[in-house]
Amino acid sequence: MTAVDRVAERPPKPARAKKAVAVRSTLTAWLSRPLADFHLLLAVFGLLTAIGLIMVLSASAPGEVAVGASAYSVFQKQLLYVVVGAVLFLIVLRIPLRTIRYGSTMAMLVCVIMLGLVLTPLGTVAGGAQSWFTVGPVSFQPIEAAKLALALWGAHVLVTKRALLNQYRHLLVPVVPVALVVFALVMLQPDLGGTITLGVVLVSLLWFVGAPMRLFGVIAIGAVSGAVVLAIGATYRLQRVLTYLDPDKDPLGAGLQARQALFALAEGGFFGKGLTNGSSKWRYLPNVHSDFIFAVIGEELGFIGCLLVLGLFGLLAVVGLRIAARNTDPWIRMVSATLTVWLVAQAAINIGYVVQLLPVTGITLPMISSGGTSIVTTMVVFGILANCARHEPAAVSALRSIGPGRVGGILRLPAPEAYKPPPKRKPVRPSTPPRGRKAAPPPVDERRMAGRQAPPSEYRRRDSRRATQDRSRRRDGR
């Protein structure tokens, strides 16, 4: 039997396999489009915003009614902050990234000053921490802005000094000392959750700039040692750790939140009880619309709802790292990767302590938990990521040649600028030669030095012979 006969006798591929190949090729072609990351990021942003508003309304209404307030009071505040965040999202999307980069130094300085002022009588105590500024009915936390400022400013400093980062003093100074000052100010409030997320931002910056692995070993040892000291130094922190290790020891006290969160997730099952039909929000689970809103998602929407939220944050991780990989500007690469890791890590920590994989730290679930400063800052972060997606080289070429596209036309977004590497700077002074070697003398132009007090050379000897011959000829002619 020949090879042609064997190919002819091979059974055809089933229709399901052909459909899978067609779907894969279509998806690959769509993902290779210039603005695929931008559109995917907008989709994740919109879905997380919608889920957050729905779940805040569902989780907060019973508790507000129980205390005699309006069922929509928390939802109305959250909706107002979402509107403010959406306006800032559009503004940040229109600002050139170069302006954001060079304004990060002033933003970092302002955030450090605000973190210092919040510890004075100007700050307000809420939830056991003096971390709020209250102006009339509006309150905000400067720590949220400090996280974003540290990511932008740290990337700016490290990219500016990238040629010197093989030396530890240039790698660590001034980013690490400033970060440690911010850590100290936040821990004086005290706010352990904010300190953890700031640590995530700092480690992400050092990781994506290519710091040596031994430095991360030192950071890990320091973080573990600091966590042990902090846990032992404060009674409530030690109680959180002991509750995490054994939540059944005090089921109606310190272990109430952890137990009720697990009960809510267990009652939800695969498809959930249905929206607004959960029972844990009827004052059984404390802080249900902020820290433990993922438990309400599991109870009312079931495993499918939890999987949807996890899938959206997983897609955010993929898209954010794709934006970093497809850009050429080193600052955009570092900023987009750091902001992505920050949001995804914060979501992982929140979900981790809801399902009892981590101790309770009070970190909110981005875009879903209620909280004005958190939702506004997160929407600004999404605006910066979307702006970074529009600055991918393929996206810049398409937007400047074809046009703004449907979304850009609706939002009237300006065309992004192509990345131009900075010009190479000339050294101010010549570099000193290595020790043990003498620098080679500069080359001497013998022709220009002729007639001056220069050492004897072939040119001078030749001119001297010609002058002597001319003088002898003149004497013979006379």
Share of the chain above pLDDT 70, in %: 88
pLDDT confidence of residue 431: 47
Reported as a pLDDT band with limits 50, 70 and 90, residue 447 is very low
Regarding predicted confidence, which is higher, 249 or 54? 54
Question: What is the average pLDDT value for the chain, to the nearest integer?
Answer: 85
Length of the chain, please?
Answer: 478
pLDDT confidence of residue 381: 97
CA distances to 5, 11, 12 from 2, in Å = 5, 16, 19
Question: What DSSP designation does 249 have?
Answer: G
For residues 56 and 374, the answer to whether their CB atoms sit within 8 Å is no
What whole-number distance in Å separates Cα of residue 36 and Cα of residue 30? 7
pLDDT above 70 (res 424): no
- What's the token pair of residue 40? 């995917």
Helix (H) or strand (E) segment spanning residue 55: helix 36-66
pLDDT above 80 (res 254): no
Beta-bridge mates of residue 222: none
Q: Which amino acid is at 392?
A: E
For residues 254 and 239, the answer to whether their CB atoms sit within 8 Å is yes
What whole-number distance in Å separates Cα of residue 144 and Cα of residue 146? 5
pLDDT confidence of residue 476: 66
pLDDT above 80 (res 412): yes
Q: Is 107 left (phi over 0), alpha (psi -120 to 50) or beta?
A: alpha
> pLDDT tens digits for 390-401?
999 999 999 988
pLDDT confidence of residue 451: 46
For the ranges 23-27, 170-174, 261-265, 373-377, the lowest mean pLDDT is seen at 23-27
pLDDT confidence of residue 7: 47
Reported as a pLDDT band with limits 50, 70 and 90, residue 440 is low
Provide Rg for the chain, Cα atoms: 32
For residues 408 and 176, the answer to whether their CB atoms sit within 8 Å is no
At a CB cut-off of 8 Å and minimum separation 6, what does 375 contact? 52, 78, 81, 82, 85, 367
- What's the token pair of residue 178? 């400033």
* Residue 126 three-state SS: strand
pLDDT confidence of residue 17: 81
Q: Is 267 exposed, middle or buried (0-12, 13-18, 19+ CB in 10 A)?
A: middle
pLDDT above 50 (res 454): no
Strands (E), 136-248: 138-140
For residues 255 and 234, the answer to whether their CB atoms sit within 8 Å is no
For the ranges 14-28, 106-120, 138-152, the lowest mean pLDDT is seen at 14-28
> pLDDT tens digits for 181-232?
999 999 998 888 899 999 999 999 999 999 999 999 999 998 888 878 877 7
Helix (H) or strand (E) segment spanning residue 336: helix 330-354
> pLDDT tens digits for 307-365?
999 999 999 999 999 999 999 999 999 999 999 999 999 999 999 999 988 888 889 99
pLDDT confidence of residue 246: 78
pLDDT confidence of residue 68: 80
What whole-number distance in Å separates Cα of residue 152 and Cα of residue 144? 13
pLDDT above 90 (res 14): no
Estimate the crossing angle of helix 192-208 against helix 175-187, to 10 degrees: 170
Report pTM: 0.84
pLDDT confidence of residue 463: 66
pLDDT confidence of residue 446: 47
